[in-house]
Amino acid sequence: MCGIAGFFGHGTQEDLKRMTNSIAHRGPDGEGAYQDDNSPVFLGHRRLSIVDLEHGQQPMTNTERSVWVTFNGEIYNHRELRHDLETKGYKFNTPNSDTEVLVHGWQEWGEELPLKLNGMFAFCIWDKKRETMFLARDRFGEKPLFWGHQKDLFVFGSEISVFQAHNSFDTAYSQLALKKYFAYAFIPAPFSAFENCYKLKPGHSLTFNVRTQAHKITPYWQFRIEVPASPPSFEEAAEELETLFVQAVKRRLMSDVPLGAFLSGGVDSSSVLAAMCRISPAQSVQSFAIGFTEKSFDESAYAREMAASLGCKHHEEILDLTKARSIIPDVLTQLDEPMADGSLLPTYLLCQFARKHVKVALSGDAGDELFAGYDPFKALQPANVYQQFVPKFMHQAAKSLIDLLPMSNKNMSLDFKLRRVLMGLDHPRPLWLPTWMAPLQTNDICDLFNAPTNAEELYAETLDLWNESPNKSQIDKSLEYFTNFYLPDDILTKVDRASMMNGLEARAVFLDCDLVEFVRRLPCHYKFDGKTTKKVLKKAVSRLVPDTVLNRRKKGFGVPLMTWMKEIPLNAKGADNFQLNSNNIETYISQHLSGQKDYRFFLWNWLVLQKSKASHL
């Protein structure tokens, strides 16, 4: 688990040093650099030592020194791949390094290599003979990978700050990306905050030929729902899923350093912890939870109860407004690119105190996306009925009626849900999900930027995916939205940044390749039958997790932004730097403080943008 950076073209070792220094927090245990003798190729690395502590230094090469790699991540099936490669005649110089598998794997399989890997990864391979730099990112984007190409300079890195660190790479804000940021609360791949700088999309590879300076991007895997003509029965699916889930947990216990698990007390994280306790002695397993002083957001008691029932060693901390204020400067100013999930704060705190005890933590992330666990899945059918039977001319009247309800500070309150659903219904069905979760509506984004835009431009990638398969059900299309956009660009980005800021490795059990391949071929009613979310998952883990957890109403890892954004000092300072209308920002602040409107998400978005690294050009 590390940070990577590098470039081809104009630049020096000093540029590379600044680039790796900018991501030093990702790899506090060591650093390495490589410069090719015959070509202006530079590779840099920062290391967080997890596996093969003694021999895993990077950049790493083969015996002939013809292939080099700088790598961030973990390959959970590296032992099987090593055995396969050894039978083909490859000689390994390290006893247990998953990095060396990439070197010889490239020699054997070339651009097919990423398909062989079960893990989380972002890497760059330099092949001297082929004069090729090959970049790849894991299937869901657990590990970040940015790239940019300007004139005779090709640059890549784990975070966008490496581009600012290179003297010859020009960085300028992308207005379209910033508009999308206020539409989604994150910047969707392939966009980044900067012009000419891009995220390599999950499940994609990039090949750069240093002689021709041409690049090509290739999708090697994409998450799509593909249900066979004869799927397994529900009972058979649940039984197979249990086996695959426990196997996925076991794979992620691969470590030469202490590890534990994040625990919210919900189905996903409780299942992970229970499986760990099935595989290892419970007393050796450590769990970590965050609570809130605001009771409607607090799940710490459930986490405590689950840990006690298993007999593992449990740790918890409580986050209140005072503590949130104190960590905001540390967290937001370390963000390489703005992403406005408010749960970044408790995730950061969770990682910070987990790191005091362990160096690796397993998580339940992706359970909601794969198994339809979010509230919007429950809103789809009522929204369909509303749209069918309520005439358009009555829509504004319904919104005005809901606005008469007092705004609650509680987590997922009824008035909040109703306002959000009606807000989304202003748009066609393919845009319901992103607009239900949007920090700012389309017309407000136009006013904020003093520039015309439309929902089709802001959510173009969402529309493309939705329209790709017209015969799929609304549930399956919604699953594809969450797994292709919200999961990689929000949830996994949040966890990556929060964990890496604290030198902690986080591993998402549900993103195991074998498990995902099985789940994406299950019928949607196995996941959500119109009433029960995560139905097949709950059945699969019923021998691991008590009914009190399986049947409890979902809270989600939300934070009390409604209240916090009334207490945290806000202003419109710096709006001109982003070509934003400061008067609009002041109006949103004023209306939120007075209770006229609920602008919690926009105000948090704005605060994050003000403070993030990318804002300091």
Active site residues: 2
DSSP 3-state of 261: strand
Which ranges of 110-229 would DSSP assign to H, the alpha helix? Answer: 113-116, 161-165, 175-184
Decide if 489 contacts 98 (C-beta within 8 A): no
Annotated binding residue 363? yes
DSSP 3-state of 123: strand
Annotated binding residue 225? no
Amino acid making up residue 50:
I
Decide if 544 contacts 534 (C-beta within 8 A): no
Q: What is the DSSP string of 514-534?
A: HHHHHHTTS-HHHHB-SS-BT
d(CA 106, CA 126): 10
Q: What are phi and psi for residue 604, nearest 5 degrees?
A: -65, -45
DSSP 3-state of 498: helix
Annotated binding residue 287? no
- Vertex 296: Cα angle to 415 and 262 (nearest 5): 125
DSSP 3-state of 431: helix
Decide if 287 contacts 312 (C-beta within 8 A): yes
Q: What is the DSSP string of 110-122?
A: GGGHHHH--EEEE
Three-state SS sequence of 309-373: HHCCEEEEEEECHHHHHHHHHHHHCCCCCCCCCCCHHHHHHHHHHHCCCCCEEEECCCHHHHHCC
Annotated binding residue 98? yes
Give exposure, 508-526, as e/b (b: 16+ Cβ within 10 Å): bbbbbbebbebbbebbbeb
Burial class (CB in 10 A: 0-12, 13-18, 19+), 470: exposed
Which ranges of 205-320 would DSSP assign to H, the alpha helix? Answer: 234-251, 267-279, 300-310
Decide if 333 contacts 612 (C-beta within 8 A): yes
Instruction: Name the CA dihedral angle for 569, 573, 574, 579, rounded to a multiple of 10 degrees.
Output: 110
Residue numbers in the known binding site for L-glutamine are: 98
Residue numbers in the known binding site for ATP are: 290, 363-364
Residue numbers in the known binding site are: 98, 290, 363-364
